[in-house]
Each structure stands twice: as structure tokens, then as C-alpha cells.
Amino acid sequence: MEEKILLKYIDVPDIEKIEVYQKHDGYKGLAKALKQHKPDQIIELVKASGLRGRGGAGFPAGLKWSFVPKDSGKPVFLCCNADEGEPGTFKDRLLMEKNPHQLIEGIVITAYAVNCHQAYIYIRGEFSQAMKVLEQAIEEAYEHNCLGKNILKQGFHLELSLHSGAGSYIAGEETGLLESLEGKRAEPRLKPPFPASVGLFKGPTVINNVETLSNVPHIIMRGPEWFKGFGTEKSTGTKLFCLSGHINKPGVYELPMGVPLKELINNYGGGIIGGRKLKAVIPGGSSTPVLTAEQVEEVAMDFESLQAAGSMLGSAGVIVMDETTCMVDALANLTRFYAHESCGQCTPCREGVSWMAKIARRIEEGKGLEGDLELLLDICDNISFKTLCPMGDAAIGPVVSFITKFRSEFEDHIRQGRCPIEKDKSIKVRG
């Protein structure tokens, strides 16, 4: 049995209540942080732990915090990014619905480290249940002096508010999130300046993912060396892996970074549904390049290994596709998603991604033209690094990799003027 960090107490009844959370080491990390450490020491501890952002980019959390200027004279803000929307990802929702105080504790410690007195949780508007749980938990935290003035009588104060989104994938991009939180369309900003210097309401701002922040109390309690005992040298700690698609046991699995993908799928996920053959896996959420069944045999689930395999760990949303999957159909689905979610600011993304969706769909429908694959790749080339935010490159991740790795399947569609795959898109009932 692997030791867990974030999901250790997830099945404890009523762990979302502060009294129960406190009985399971809850808010001890906060007490230790406030009583024994100066803010800078917290940053050093988190740097030493090697904790990297769990939202997708994998940026070192402590380093991000250290970029906040100490002498700007402006109030510092902390935003927890709870706008979980990358297809294939559903870990933050679990953390918020089941163990909200772990997140709140992480937020308070992080706020203390960066000298912030106003924090927001930006949560996607669809997550009504998580909002209900978090509202209750925030109220309890105020009542128990874990939020508000003079927290745990240590002189630090922090206000925390929950802010609901209203349906937008791009609000999960950090500067899109800031715009949205300021009451605007979630149109990402040009960087630099980076949010650490000019962020929310023009103040220095730290933006961290739910899972990242939930790790912080444990690092403070048990130290960076303990945390580094999990995972690999450069990808430390555990990770919440989200398994979905054609898998027997879909769900969230907390395992050390670096777990072999094959083991994740077969040992934890119970293998492919119906005993079918594996065809492809998207390892880190829909924007990460797809892996072939052969690659799945060899790759490990950490930042470096997936990068070496030409893909990314991203948000660790693992989408498993069996032999009945039509890769053209799957790509048409994903490009439609990105076309729908493009904010429209940058022409290459707004126009290009829509074109990609239309072309992928027409190939699937048997109306593909000679040269369509070259056209798709050319559009990708015209989007890559030509947009304000990473969304353009996110949208082309699947296109380039699907065409490169499954080219003959695309060509068969065009040549035969129909989809040659016997797809099984029926409802799967699991035991």
C-alpha cells in the first residue's frame, strides 16, 4: 500500500468538518508555520521540497512565490485556481468536495509566506457541490480563528472569498482568471508583466492550483526531505492521476510521481474495458500530445519522462482509448472543444482552431480532401507561438500528435471517403 499525502484522510467520515479535520492533524501545519517560521523560511522550505505546480505547467511553487516583490507598497493577492476544466481532469473537484480544509490551510500558509491579506478561490461555475462545501468550510475556518484577524493568535490576518466563474475554459489560464475575477471577459493578458509583479487589481499576485496548495500544509508539517522521499529527483511528491476513458476502474489515484503509465492503467485502473486492446493514451489532459500503445509500455508519469517521450504531464488527466476508438473522431471531438473555448482575442487561435475542427470533422464524415492533413499541420504551424496565451499551443498538441502517430488512419478516411473504424461509442456499464 502506497503512502498517501493528499488523499490520506479522504474517506474519513465528515472530514470536511473542521472538528474532524483538526483531529486528523488539521491546521497543525498552519500553527507550525505561524509560530515557528518567518514568511521567507516558508518559501525556502517549499523551494527545498521541489513542489511544482499541479495545474499543468509544473512551475516550482516556492520559486513563483519568491518573485513577489517585497517593497511594491501595493497589497498582495493570492488566487487559488479552482477552475478545473482541462478535459480528462477531475482531481481538484475531489479535493474541494471531500477535504476543503486541507486546501484552506494551504491557502493561509501560502498567503502568510507572500505577505498577502486577501485571497480568492476562483472556482468554476459548474462546481455547485464543491462551492457549497467550501462556503461552509470557510465559515468554520473563520469561526475557529483559522481565517480572519489575528489567526491562531499569531498576529497574521487573511480574508478568503469564494468567487464563482460562469462557464469558460480559458478562465483557467492564469491571466484569464485575473481578468474574470476583475469582472471582465476572461481574455488572457500579454506577459510580461507577470502576475507576480502586476496581477489582480494591478497588485502583485500569486496564482496556484488547488492540488499545489493542498500539498503545502504537509510540507510544513513533515519537512522538505520527507516530501522529496516521494517521486523522482526532479518531480517530487505524489500526484493525483485522473483515469478516464476505456478503463475498468476510472477514478483519481494518488501515487508517487514517476509511476509507470502501464502500471497505472493495468494495476490501478484495472486494465482496458472488455479486455480489449489498448490503442492510445492522452497522458496529461486533452492538450498533451497523445501516446501510442507502444509508448505506454515504456513511459513513466513525471514531468521529465513525459517530456522526453514528446508529451507532457500537464494536469495528469489520463484518457485511455481502446482499439474501437477512431482517432479522427476523437480529434474532431477535441478540436471542437478548443474551437468552442477560444476566447477570440488572437486571430490565429480564433480562426485557426475553428478551421481545424471543421477539417477534422469533415475527414471523419468521409468528406476529407487530398491535402487536408498538410493543411491541418500548416494551420498548426500558423498558430504555434503566435497567440497571447498557451491556449493556441494547447489546441494544436492533439492535432500534430494524432496526425503524426496515426497518419495511416487519417489517410484511410480520406482515401475511402468514409470512417473505416468499427467504433463502439455505447454506454459502458462497469461492475
Task: Give the burial class of 309: count Cβ atoms within 10 A of its Cβ; 0-12 exposed, 13-18 middle, 19 or more buried.
Answer: middle
Q: How far is the CB of 56 from other proteins (least distance, A)?
A: 14
In degrees, to the nearest 5, what angle opens at C-alpha 330 toward C-alphas 325 and 334? 160
Q: Are 50 and 239 in contact (CB under 8 A)?
A: no
Q: Which of 55, 85, 352, 397 binds other proteins (CB under 8 A)?
A: 85
Cβ distance to other proteins smaller for residue 146 or 252: 252
Does position 149 bind other proteins by CB under 8 A?
no
Q: Which of 66, 115, 164, 292 binds other proteins (CB under 8 A)?
A: 164
Grid coordinates given for 148: 480572519
Q: How far is the CB of 425 from other proteins (least distance, A)?
A: 6
Contact segment (CB under 8 A) with other proteins among 13-21, 146-154, 226-234, 339-347 equals 339-347
Q: Which of 1, 385, 425, 431 binds other proteins (CB under 8 A)?
A: 425
Does position 408 bind other proteins by CB under 8 A?
no
Q: How far is the CB of 28 from other proteins (least distance, A)?
A: 29
Binding mask 265-304 for other proteins (x = CB under 8 A): -----------------x---x------------------
Give CB contacts under 8 A, 24+ apart, made by 193-198: 194/67, 196/64, 196/67, 196/68, 196/69, 197/67, 197/68, 197/69, 197/72
Does position 75 bind other proteins by CB under 8 A?
yes
Q: Which of 15, 133, 312, 321 binds other proteins (CB under 8 A)?
A: 321
| Spatial separation of the C-alpha atoms in residues 237 and 52, rounded to whole Å | 9
Grid coordinates given for 301: 508519469
Contact segment (CB under 8 A) with other proteins among 220-228, 300-308, 319-327, 376-384 equals 319-327
Does position 361 bind other proteins by CB under 8 A?
no
Please count the other Cβ atoms lying within 10 Å of the Cβ belonging to residue 403. 22
Does position 248 bind other proteins by CB under 8 A?
no
Q: What is the CA radius of gyration of the chain?
A: 22
Does position 93 bind other proteins by CB under 8 A?
yes
What is the total count of residues that contact other proteins (CB under 8 A)?
60
Does position 28 bind other proteins by CB under 8 A?
no
Q: Are 64 and 206 in contact (CB under 8 A)?
A: yes
Q: Are 349 and 342 in contact (CB under 8 A)?
A: yes
| Spatial separation of the C-alpha atoms in residues 236 and 303, rounded to whole Å | 10
Binding mask 382-401 for other proteins (x = CB under 8 A): --------------------
- List binders of other proteins among 100-129 (CB under 8 A): 118, 124-129
Q: How far is the CB of 428 from other proteins (least distance, A)?
A: 5
Cβ distance to other proteins smaller for residue 124 or 413: 124
| Spatial separation of the C-alpha atoms in residues 85 and 92, rounded to whole Å | 10
Q: Which residues contact 226 (CB under 8 A, 6 or more apart)?
A: none
CA dihedral 4, 5, 11, 14 (to 10 degrees): 160
Q: How far is the CB of 242 from other proteins (least distance, A)?
A: 7
Q: How far is the CB of 39 from other proteins (least distance, A)?
A: 22
In degrees, to the nearest 5, what angle opens at C-alpha 133 toward C-alphas 132 and 137? 120
Does position 84 bind other proteins by CB under 8 A?
yes
E strand map for 225-301: 238-245, 251-256, 259-260, 278-282, 291-292, 300-301
Cβ distance to other proteins smaller for residue 34 or 349: 349
Residue 209, H or E segment: strand 205-209
Cβ distance to other proteins smaller for residue 40 or 182: 182
Q: Which of 21, 27, 156, 169 binds other proteins (CB under 8 A)?
A: 169
* Binding positions for other proteins, rule: CB under 8 A: 75, 84-90, 92-93, 118, 124-129, 161, 163-169, 180-186, 201, 242-246, 250-252, 282, 286, 317, 319, 321, 325, 330, 333-334, 337, 340-341, 343, 425-430
